[in-house]
Amino acid sequence: MTASIPAPRIHHAAAFGRVAVLMGGTSAEREVSLESGRNVLDALRARGVDAHAVDGIPALIDALRAGRFDRVFNILHGNKGGGEDGVLQGALEALGVPYTGSGVLGSALSMDKIRTKQVWASEGLPTPKFVRLRHGDDMRAAARALGLPVFVKPSCEGSSVGVFRILVDGDLAAAEAFAAGYAGELLMEQMVVGDEFTVGIFGDLALPSIRIVPAGEWYDYHAKYIADDTQYLCPGLDGDDEIAVRDLALRAFRAAGCGSWGRVDVMRDRRSGEHLEIQSGFQLIEINTAPGMTSHSLVPKAARQIGIDFETLCWLILETTMPEAAER
Protein backbone atom coordinates (compact mmCIF):
# COMPACT_ATOMS: atom_id res chain seq x y z
CA MET A 1 0.00 0.00 0.00
CA THR A 2 1.40 3.39 -0.96
CA ALA A 3 0.66 6.77 0.60
CA SER A 4 1.75 10.26 -0.29
CA ILE A 5 1.11 13.63 1.34
CA PRO A 6 0.05 16.33 -1.13
CA ALA A 7 2.67 18.87 -2.10
CA PRO A 8 2.70 22.18 -0.17
CA ARG A 9 0.17 24.73 -1.39
CA ILE A 10 1.63 27.71 0.47
CA HIS A 11 4.95 28.70 -1.08
CA HIS A 12 5.89 31.83 0.87
CA ALA A 13 6.44 31.83 4.62
CA ALA A 14 5.16 35.39 4.89
CA ALA A 15 1.67 34.13 4.03
CA PHE A 16 1.40 32.62 7.52
CA GLY A 17 1.97 35.94 9.26
CA ARG A 18 3.15 35.72 12.88
CA VAL A 19 2.77 32.20 14.26
CA ALA A 20 2.49 31.25 17.92
CA VAL A 21 4.01 27.84 18.66
CA LEU A 22 2.08 26.94 21.78
CA MET A 23 4.00 24.64 24.11
CA GLY A 24 4.63 23.83 27.77
CA GLY A 25 1.52 24.62 29.76
CA THR A 26 0.65 23.15 33.14
CA SER A 27 -0.43 19.59 32.33
CA ALA A 28 1.41 16.47 33.45
CA GLU A 29 2.97 16.36 29.97
CA ARG A 30 4.65 19.76 30.19
CA GLU A 31 8.24 18.59 29.66
CA VAL A 32 7.38 16.51 26.60
CA SER A 33 5.44 19.46 25.17
CA LEU A 34 8.37 21.82 25.67
CA GLU A 35 10.68 19.49 23.74
CA SER A 36 8.10 19.04 20.98
CA GLY A 37 7.57 22.78 20.81
CA ARG A 38 11.24 23.60 20.51
CA ASN A 39 11.57 21.17 17.61
CA VAL A 40 8.55 22.61 15.79
CA LEU A 41 9.76 26.17 16.41
CA ASP A 42 13.20 25.40 14.96
CA ALA A 43 11.67 23.66 11.94
CA LEU A 44 9.33 26.53 11.09
CA ARG A 45 12.00 29.17 11.55
CA ALA A 46 14.35 27.16 9.31
CA ARG A 47 11.72 27.57 6.57
CA GLY A 48 11.48 31.30 7.15
CA VAL A 49 8.24 31.32 9.18
CA ASP A 50 7.89 34.18 11.68
CA ALA A 51 7.30 31.76 14.55
CA HIS A 52 7.53 32.47 18.29
CA ALA A 53 7.33 30.28 21.39
CA VAL A 54 4.41 30.83 23.76
CA ASP A 55 4.28 28.94 27.05
CA GLY A 56 0.74 28.03 28.09
CA ILE A 57 -2.81 29.11 27.35
CA PRO A 58 -3.03 32.27 29.54
CA ALA A 59 0.05 33.76 27.86
CA LEU A 60 -1.37 32.90 24.45
CA ILE A 61 -4.75 34.53 25.14
CA ASP A 62 -3.04 37.72 26.34
CA ALA A 63 -0.90 37.80 23.19
CA LEU A 64 -3.86 37.19 20.91
CA ARG A 65 -5.91 39.92 22.54
CA ALA A 66 -2.98 42.25 21.91
CA GLY A 67 -3.01 41.25 18.24
CA ARG A 68 0.47 39.72 18.24
CA PHE A 69 -0.28 36.51 16.32
CA ASP A 70 -2.22 35.45 13.24
CA ARG A 71 -2.45 31.72 13.89
CA VAL A 72 -1.42 29.01 16.35
CA PHE A 73 0.60 25.82 15.96
CA ASN A 74 -0.66 23.89 18.97
CA ILE A 75 1.84 21.46 20.42
CA LEU A 76 0.51 21.49 23.99
CA HIS A 77 -0.03 17.97 25.29
CA GLY A 78 -2.59 16.73 27.80
CA ASN A 79 -5.46 18.41 29.63
CA LYS A 80 -5.87 20.85 32.53
CA GLY A 81 -3.48 23.36 31.09
CA GLY A 82 -2.66 21.24 28.07
CA GLY A 83 -4.07 21.83 24.64
CA GLU A 84 -5.85 18.56 23.84
CA ASP A 85 -9.07 18.74 25.84
CA GLY A 86 -11.12 21.22 23.80
CA VAL A 87 -10.70 24.19 26.16
CA LEU A 88 -8.00 25.83 24.07
CA GLN A 89 -9.89 25.06 20.87
CA GLY A 90 -13.04 26.70 22.22
CA ALA A 91 -11.15 29.84 23.18
CA LEU A 92 -9.49 30.08 19.75
CA GLU A 93 -12.82 29.53 18.00
CA ALA A 94 -14.32 32.38 20.05
CA LEU A 95 -11.43 34.65 19.14
CA GLY A 96 -11.54 33.65 15.46
CA VAL A 97 -7.90 32.52 15.42
CA PRO A 98 -6.97 29.56 13.15
CA TYR A 99 -5.06 26.71 14.77
CA THR A 100 -3.63 23.29 14.02
CA GLY A 101 -5.19 20.03 15.14
CA SER A 102 -8.71 18.82 15.86
CA GLY A 103 -11.59 21.09 16.78
CA VAL A 104 -13.48 21.35 20.05
CA LEU A 105 -15.46 18.11 19.76
CA GLY A 106 -12.66 15.86 18.55
CA SER A 107 -10.20 17.26 21.08
CA ALA A 108 -12.53 16.98 24.06
CA LEU A 109 -13.80 13.51 23.17
CA SER A 110 -10.50 11.87 22.35
CA MET A 111 -8.87 13.29 25.50
CA ASP A 112 -11.34 11.13 27.43
CA LYS A 113 -10.42 7.50 26.82
CA ILE A 114 -13.64 6.14 28.31
CA ARG A 115 -15.95 8.26 26.13
CA THR A 116 -13.83 7.58 23.06
CA LYS A 117 -14.18 3.85 23.61
CA GLN A 118 -17.92 4.25 24.10
CA VAL A 119 -18.15 5.98 20.72
CA TRP A 120 -16.04 3.30 19.06
CA ALA A 121 -18.19 0.57 20.56
CA SER A 122 -21.35 2.30 19.28
CA GLU A 123 -19.79 2.37 15.80
CA GLY A 124 -18.89 -1.31 15.94
CA LEU A 125 -15.15 -0.60 16.01
CA PRO A 126 -12.99 -3.06 17.98
CA THR A 127 -11.54 -1.96 21.31
CA PRO A 128 -10.61 -3.98 24.43
CA LYS A 129 -13.30 -4.59 27.01
CA PHE A 130 -13.15 -2.02 29.81
CA VAL A 131 -14.63 -0.80 33.08
CA ARG A 132 -15.12 2.82 34.13
CA LEU A 133 -13.81 3.51 37.64
CA ARG A 134 -15.09 6.52 39.56
CA HIS A 135 -13.34 7.78 42.68
CA GLY A 136 -13.90 5.20 45.44
CA ASP A 137 -15.02 2.32 43.18
CA ASP A 138 -13.84 -1.19 44.03
CA MET A 139 -10.86 -1.78 41.78
CA ARG A 140 -10.45 -5.41 42.79
CA ALA A 141 -14.04 -6.22 41.91
CA ALA A 142 -13.54 -4.59 38.52
CA ALA A 143 -10.40 -6.65 37.93
CA ARG A 144 -12.26 -9.85 38.78
CA ALA A 145 -15.03 -8.91 36.37
CA LEU A 146 -12.64 -8.26 33.48
CA GLY A 147 -10.11 -10.94 34.31
CA LEU A 148 -6.38 -10.34 34.66
CA PRO A 149 -4.17 -9.08 33.13
CA VAL A 150 -5.45 -5.50 32.81
CA PHE A 151 -4.20 -1.95 32.52
CA VAL A 152 -5.38 0.81 34.85
CA LYS A 153 -4.93 4.36 33.58
CA PRO A 154 -6.44 7.82 34.04
CA SER A 155 -9.17 8.43 31.51
CA CYS A 156 -7.88 11.92 30.71
CA GLU A 157 -4.09 11.80 30.73
CA GLY A 158 -1.48 10.87 28.14
CA SER A 159 2.21 10.00 27.71
CA SER A 160 1.76 6.93 29.96
CA VAL A 161 1.14 9.15 32.98
CA GLY A 162 -0.41 7.14 35.83
CA VAL A 163 -0.55 3.84 33.91
CA PHE A 164 -0.40 0.57 35.88
CA ARG A 165 0.04 -2.90 34.44
CA ILE A 166 -1.81 -5.45 36.58
CA LEU A 167 -0.64 -9.02 36.03
CA VAL A 168 -1.54 -10.52 39.42
CA ASP A 169 -3.66 -9.43 42.38
CA GLY A 170 -0.60 -8.10 44.19
CA ASP A 171 -0.07 -5.48 41.48
CA LEU A 172 -3.35 -3.76 42.38
CA ALA A 173 -2.01 -2.13 45.54
CA ALA A 174 0.02 0.51 43.69
CA ALA A 175 -2.89 1.33 41.38
CA GLU A 176 -5.25 1.61 44.38
CA ALA A 177 -2.83 3.99 46.13
CA PHE A 178 -2.70 6.17 43.01
CA ALA A 179 -6.49 6.12 42.68
CA ALA A 180 -6.94 7.24 46.28
CA GLY A 181 -5.19 10.52 45.51
CA TYR A 182 -6.50 11.01 41.97
CA ALA A 183 -9.72 12.95 41.56
CA GLY A 184 -10.58 11.94 38.01
CA GLU A 185 -12.03 8.80 36.51
CA LEU A 186 -9.87 5.77 35.77
CA LEU A 187 -10.13 3.29 32.95
CA MET A 188 -9.51 -0.39 33.58
CA GLU A 189 -8.96 -2.17 30.30
CA GLN A 190 -8.24 -5.75 29.34
CA MET A 191 -4.61 -6.11 28.41
CA VAL A 192 -4.07 -7.05 24.80
CA VAL A 193 -1.17 -9.47 24.49
CA GLY A 194 0.39 -8.88 21.12
CA ASP A 195 2.05 -6.36 18.89
CA GLU A 196 1.69 -2.60 19.32
CA PHE A 197 1.19 -0.28 16.36
CA THR A 198 0.56 3.39 15.81
CA VAL A 199 -0.83 5.09 12.72
CA GLY A 200 -0.30 8.77 12.02
CA ILE A 201 -3.17 10.65 10.41
CA PHE A 202 -2.86 13.69 8.17
CA GLY A 203 -6.20 14.94 6.85
CA ASP A 204 -7.81 11.99 5.05
CA LEU A 205 -4.54 10.11 4.79
CA ALA A 206 -3.34 7.35 7.09
CA LEU A 207 0.46 7.26 7.16
CA PRO A 208 2.41 3.99 7.14
CA SER A 209 1.95 2.11 10.39
CA ILE A 210 4.76 1.77 12.90
CA ARG A 211 5.27 -1.39 14.91
CA ILE A 212 6.75 -0.53 18.31
CA VAL A 213 9.15 -3.05 19.84
CA PRO A 214 10.39 -1.89 23.28
CA ALA A 215 13.45 -3.51 24.79
CA GLY A 216 11.52 -4.00 28.04
CA GLU A 217 8.22 -5.71 28.63
CA TRP A 218 6.05 -2.80 27.60
CA TYR A 219 6.04 0.64 26.01
CA ASP A 220 6.12 2.87 29.10
CA TYR A 221 7.22 6.50 29.59
CA HIS A 222 10.90 5.51 29.66
CA ALA A 223 10.63 3.56 26.41
CA LYS A 224 8.72 6.41 24.74
CA TYR A 225 10.88 9.40 25.64
CA ILE A 226 14.20 8.31 27.11
CA ALA A 227 15.39 4.90 25.92
CA ASP A 228 17.37 4.59 22.70
CA ASP A 229 16.85 0.84 22.35
CA THR A 230 13.15 0.88 21.42
CA GLN A 231 12.72 -0.37 17.84
CA TYR A 232 10.31 1.29 15.42
CA LEU A 233 9.52 -0.77 12.33
CA CYS A 234 7.89 1.20 9.52
CA PRO A 235 5.78 0.11 7.83
CA GLY A 236 4.80 -2.20 10.64
CA LEU A 237 2.89 -4.63 8.44
CA ASP A 238 2.65 -5.84 4.86
CA GLY A 239 -0.04 -6.25 2.26
CA ASP A 240 -3.67 -6.57 3.37
CA ASP A 241 -2.75 -6.28 7.05
CA GLU A 242 -1.17 -2.88 6.47
CA ILE A 243 -4.21 -1.74 4.51
CA ALA A 244 -6.51 -2.98 7.29
CA VAL A 245 -4.71 -1.24 10.17
CA ARG A 246 -4.57 2.08 8.32
CA ASP A 247 -8.23 1.86 7.37
CA LEU A 248 -9.23 1.07 10.96
CA ALA A 249 -7.16 3.95 12.32
CA LEU A 250 -8.71 6.44 9.91
CA ARG A 251 -12.24 5.22 10.70
CA ALA A 252 -11.54 5.52 14.44
CA PHE A 253 -10.13 9.04 14.00
CA ARG A 254 -13.19 10.19 12.07
CA ALA A 255 -15.64 8.48 14.44
CA ALA A 256 -14.23 10.55 17.31
CA GLY A 257 -14.76 13.78 15.39
CA CYS A 258 -11.05 14.39 14.89
CA GLY A 259 -9.39 16.18 11.99
CA SER A 260 -6.27 17.93 10.69
CA TRP A 261 -3.62 15.58 12.05
CA GLY A 262 -3.10 13.14 14.90
CA ARG A 263 -2.23 9.59 15.79
CA VAL A 264 -4.18 6.41 16.56
CA ASP A 265 -2.70 3.64 18.71
CA VAL A 266 -3.66 0.05 17.93
CA MET A 267 -2.84 -3.39 19.36
CA ARG A 268 -2.97 -6.70 17.53
CA ASP A 269 -4.10 -9.52 19.78
CA ARG A 270 -2.19 -12.78 19.44
CA ARG A 271 -3.66 -14.51 22.49
CA SER A 272 -6.59 -16.84 22.94
CA GLY A 273 -8.75 -16.66 26.03
CA GLU A 274 -12.44 -17.05 26.67
CA HIS A 275 -12.76 -13.75 28.56
CA LEU A 276 -11.48 -11.73 25.61
CA GLU A 277 -14.25 -10.06 23.66
CA ILE A 278 -12.30 -10.17 20.42
CA GLN A 279 -10.16 -13.26 19.92
CA SER A 280 -7.87 -11.94 17.19
CA GLY A 281 -7.13 -8.96 15.04
CA PHE A 282 -6.66 -5.25 15.68
CA GLN A 283 -8.05 -3.42 18.68
CA LEU A 284 -8.13 0.34 19.11
CA ILE A 285 -6.46 1.80 22.20
CA GLU A 286 -6.54 5.61 22.02
CA ILE A 287 -6.18 8.77 19.93
CA ASN A 288 -3.63 11.55 20.32
CA THR A 289 -4.73 14.85 18.76
CA ALA A 290 -1.46 16.71 19.41
CA PRO A 291 1.16 13.98 18.99
CA GLY A 292 4.68 14.41 20.23
CA MET A 293 7.25 15.96 17.93
CA THR A 294 10.35 14.92 19.88
CA SER A 295 13.33 12.94 18.64
CA HIS A 296 11.49 9.76 19.68
CA SER A 297 8.09 10.70 18.26
CA LEU A 298 6.22 8.54 15.81
CA VAL A 299 4.35 10.73 13.34
CA PRO A 300 7.62 12.23 12.04
CA LYS A 301 9.03 8.70 11.67
CA ALA A 302 6.04 7.63 9.56
CA ALA A 303 6.21 10.79 7.45
CA ARG A 304 9.89 10.16 6.71
CA GLN A 305 8.93 6.74 5.37
CA ILE A 306 7.11 8.46 2.49
CA GLY A 307 9.75 11.11 1.95
CA ILE A 308 8.45 13.94 4.17
CA ASP A 309 11.19 15.42 6.35
CA PHE A 310 10.46 17.07 9.70
CA GLU A 311 10.57 20.65 8.44
CA THR A 312 8.18 19.86 5.59
CA LEU A 313 5.84 18.01 7.95
CA CYS A 314 5.64 21.04 10.26
CA TRP A 315 5.00 23.31 7.26
CA LEU A 316 2.20 21.04 5.99
CA ILE A 317 0.55 20.91 9.41
CA LEU A 318 0.70 24.68 9.66
CA GLU A 319 -0.83 24.88 6.17
CA THR A 320 -4.04 23.32 7.54
CA THR A 321 -4.75 26.65 9.25
CA MET A 322 -4.93 28.39 5.85
CA PRO A 323 -8.11 28.61 3.73
CA GLU A 324 -6.14 27.56 0.64
CA ALA A 325 -5.28 24.18 2.17
CA ALA A 326 -8.15 23.55 4.58
CA GLU A 327 -10.16 21.28 2.27
CA ARG A 328 -7.40 19.06 0.89
Q: Which residues are catalytic?
A: 29, 159, 225, 263, 265, 286, 288, 292
CA distances from 270 to 78, 191, 194, 223, 252 (A): 31, 11, 5, 22, 21
Q: How many Å from the N-terminal Cα to the C-terminal Cα in the chain?
A: 20
**Which long-range contacts (C-beta less than 8 Å, at least 24 apart) are formed by 304-312?**
305/207, 305/208, 305/234, 305/235, 306/2, 306/3, 306/4, 306/5, 306/207, 306/208, 307/4, 308/5, 310/39, 310/43, 311/43, 311/44, 311/46, 311/47, 312/8
Look at residues 321, 327, 326 and name the one whose alpha carbon lies nearest to residue 20: 321
Contacts of 72 (CB under 8 A, 6+ apart): 19, 20, 22, 60, 92, 97, 98, 99, 100, 321
Beta partners for 213? 231
**Which long-range contacts (C-beta less than 8 Å, at least 24 apart) are formed by 122-125?**
123/251, 123/255, 125/248, 125/251, 125/252, 125/255, 125/284
In angstroms, the CA 109 to CA 116 distance is 6
Quote the DSSP letter at residue 99: B
Within 10 angstroms of residue 265's Cβ, the number of other Cβ atoms is 18
